[in-house]
Structure 1
Amino acid sequence: MSTIGTPATPGAIRTPGTLTTSGTMTTPLKGAVEDLPLPAIGEPIIEVRNLSKRYGRNIVHQHLNLDIRRGEIVTIVGGSGSGKTTLVRQILGLERPTSGTIKMFGEDISTIEPERARLMRTRTGMLFQHGALFSSLSVFDNVAQPVRELGKVPADLLRDIVMLKLEMVGLPCKHASKPPAALSGGMVKRVGLARAIVLEPELLFLDEPTAGLDPRSSDEVVELISTLHRALGLTVVLITHDLDAMVALSTRVAVIAERKVLVAAPVEEAACVDDPFIREYFLGMRGRRALQALPPERRAKLPPAALAPASVGARPC
């Protein structure tokens, strides 16, 4: 695992499976990792303390606190305009907080030196909501871009890195020469994921990874995220309105309302918090339908209202 001073080597693979001389996997990634345990939960790698963010008179966050530990998948949920994406942008250093501190890998991102900040960025990956692929570049060149930004890489090695990452996300290499406009929505998400993991990051941010997808494609992306989490030992920060994806993936759910994190806990515990927004979000018909897909041992911890049939209105806890 890399440190700030020694970023992960591009193309260095930490996944099981047999590699051919060309760098492609001969064993499907899902099958290669399905018997592996989930990543162990470790020390905090993101620490947000007393964060406030305002735009003029508009206060988005006020005294917000959140820890994200190594190996977790933490889903950030909240109503529209609650500041989910704004929080992630501040964690990534794209915006500055009005006050408060954010530490990533133990470093205060507001005071870190530029060179160390650049190295830190190689330890993170980002999948943007609509893929954010460069329309003028091929699939290959989109995935290769972060590697090229690090400096000159031999063409053969660059090809091996890109093709391996495309195979890891389940995209046949025959699509490498295509422009993004020739891809389906699900394929665009896969290319975005391949680009996000091309530098072998430790920390992966996903902004609405299933938005705009049909149910089958959405399920496939959820399964792919779960597989990559297990295969690469990733820590994942997920923003989503997809309740099924939240329930399927989350180690913990961080609920933003009233300008702060109301609760950051496993979804079955978060659903028990007595708060108007949480009752509306988790105990409505869609929320109950998603929660009832939890395994029996976790479903047993839900409040009684969450177990009401999803086709009828919920009674208060």
Structure 2
Amino acid sequence: MRESTVPDPSTTPATPASPALGSDARSGATAGCPPISSTLPGDAEPVIEVRDLTKRYGTHTIHEHLDLTVRQSEIIALVGGSGSGKTTLIRQIIGLEAPTSGHISVFGHDITMIDRNTAHLLRRRSGMLFQRGALFSALTVFDNIAQPLRELHTLSEDLIRDVVMYKLDMVGLSGRMANRMPAELSGGMIKRVGIARAIALEPELLFLDEPTAGLDPQASDEFVDMIRGLHRSLGLTVVMVTHDLDTVMMLATRVAVLADRKVLVNAPVEDAVCVDHPFIRSFFLGERGRRALLALPAARRTKISELLDDGK
């Protein structure tokens, strides 16, 4: 196993200059940021286009003629009931699974038809935070974050060390964490290290699978602030699977609702809740859902004020 030489945190600058970014793209936990707007330029380029997607396991159909578009700089929340295929959809978009039929375009490339080299290059333009972090348990925090950088086989260990320490800083972790093992970390720290690894290669597209699952309310709010800061400072397009209504309200520019084996609606949450469907009524207009919707800015709540009042 490769041993890394991690710099002494006491001699490491608190805010290192980014070795990979051309500007100071610091984020950390940006408490107090205003809610992300639900309005994006209408001419924003599509980053992901899913068309007529069908996914079957044997005779069991997960998706059937599913369509989804994600545009540049959006934060799309994928919501749906258990078994609706949210994570399965993500796995197909990032190439871990192949669709039964249909087409998936990422950055203008149909990933169902590209060669292995192009697929590898596309993967470098995206990062993934898995639900439980998926850190390598036998590697230190430093080596977990360094792993995708080392796979490039083009960077010196000195440069890798600088990048890793900078990414730790970006996710609000001290350089003193670099030598720790995953087993020594809290759930929130594991997710932050997972994010640091996901952004190690400066991706344009970030996937999050249940980013706040298992976190207490304070840790969840801090994690949402961090994601919001990274989205703004790095210009990321974000696709997240979540069942946490508070996270949806705080982060999502649009909500894609999966039910009946397809995307029922892909719109700002105040538009999505107006669609008359049993899952949408139960998910968004139950007691918890209405309470979360009240956190929307007043201008956005106006459209759904009657729904919030009568609980339809």
Superposition TM-score, scaled by structure 2 size:
0.89
Q: AA paired with 1:254?
A: A
Go from structure 1 to structure 2 and tell me whether the alpha carbon gap of 1:43 and 1:180 turns closer, same or farther (over 3 Å shift).
same
- Deviation sequence 1:48-72 (CA, Å, 0-9, x none): 0000011111110001000000000
- Please state how far the C-alpha of 1:31 moved relative to its aligned partner: 6.3
Paired position in structure 2 for 1:12 = 20
3-state SS of 2:24 partner: coil
d(CA) in 2 for partners of 1:92, 1:221: 23
Q: AA paired with 1:297?
A: A
The share of aligned pairs that are identical, in percent, is 60
Q: Which 5+ residue runs of structure 2 have no aligned equivalent? A: 1-17
d(CA) in 1 for partners of 2:56, 2:19: 40
3-state SS of 1:66 partner: strand
- Please state how far the C-alpha of 1:11 moved relative to its aligned partner: 4.5
d(CA) in 1 for partners of 2:157, 2:32: 29
Paired position in structure 1 for 2:266 = 264
Q: Is contact 2:273–2:280 with CA below 8 Å preserved after alignment? A: yes
Q: Which 5+ residue runs of structure 1 have no aligned equivalent? A: 1-9, 18-24, 309-313
2:86 maps to 1:84: yes
Q: Is contact 2:148–2:200 with CA below 8 Å preserved after alignment? A: yes
User: Aligned match of 1:223 in 215, 225, 228?
Assistant: 225
Superposition TM-score, scaled by structure 1 size:
0.87
3-state SS of 2:114 partner: coil
Q: Is contact 1:33–1:230 with CA below 8 Å preserved after alignment? A: no
- Please state how far the C-alpha of 1:307 moved relative to its aligned partner: 4.0
Q: AA paired with 2:103?
A: T
Paired position in structure 2 for 1:46 = 48
Q: Is contact 1:126–1:196 with CA below 8 Å preserved after alignment? A: yes
Paired position in structure 1 for 2:5 = none
3-state SS of 1:88 partner: helix
- Please state how far the C-alpha of 1:14 moved relative to its aligned partner: 5.1
What is the number of residues matched between the two proteins?
Answer: 291
Q: Is contact 2:29–2:171 with CA below 8 Å preserved after alignment? A: no
3-state SS of 1:301 partner: helix
Go from structure 1 to structure 2 and tell me whether the alpha carbon gap of 1:12 and 1:107 turns closer, same or farther (over 3 Å shift).
same
User: Aligned match of 1:133 in 135, 141, 144?
Assistant: 135
Q: AA paired with 2:302?
A: A
3-state SS of 1:272 partner: coil
- Please state how far the C-alpha of 1:302 moved relative to its aligned partner: 1.5
Q: AA paired with 1:107?
A: H
Q: Is contact 2:29–2:223 with CA below 8 Å preserved after alignment? A: no
Q: AA paired with 2:284?
A: F
- Deviation sequence 1:230-256 (CA, Å, 0-9, x none): 000000000001100011000100000
- Please state how far the C-alpha of 1:113 moved relative to its aligned partner: 1.4
d(CA) in 2 for partners of 1:163, 1:175: 10
Query: 1:57-136, aligned counterparts within 5 Å?
Result: 57-136=59-138
Q: AA paired with 1:147?
A: L
Which has the larger displacement, 139-148 or 37-46? 37-46
- Please state how far the C-alpha of 1:289 moved relative to its aligned partner: 0.7
d(CA) in 2 for partners of 1:198, 1:67: 26
Which has the larger displacement, 228-237 or 110-119? 110-119
3-state SS of 1:302 partner: helix
**RMSD over aligned Cα atoms:** 2.1
Paired position in structure 2 for 1:211 = 213
Paired position in structure 1 for 2:165 = 163
Go from structure 1 to structure 2 and tell me whether the alpha carbon gap of 1:307 and 1:199 turns closer, same or farther (over 3 Å shift).
farther
Q: Is contact 1:33–1:231 with CA below 8 Å preserved after alignment? A: no
Q: Is contact 2:29–2:222 with CA below 8 Å preserved after alignment? A: no
- Please state how far the C-alpha of 1:276 moved relative to its aligned partner: 1.2
- Please state how far the C-alpha of 1:222 moved relative to its aligned partner: 0.5
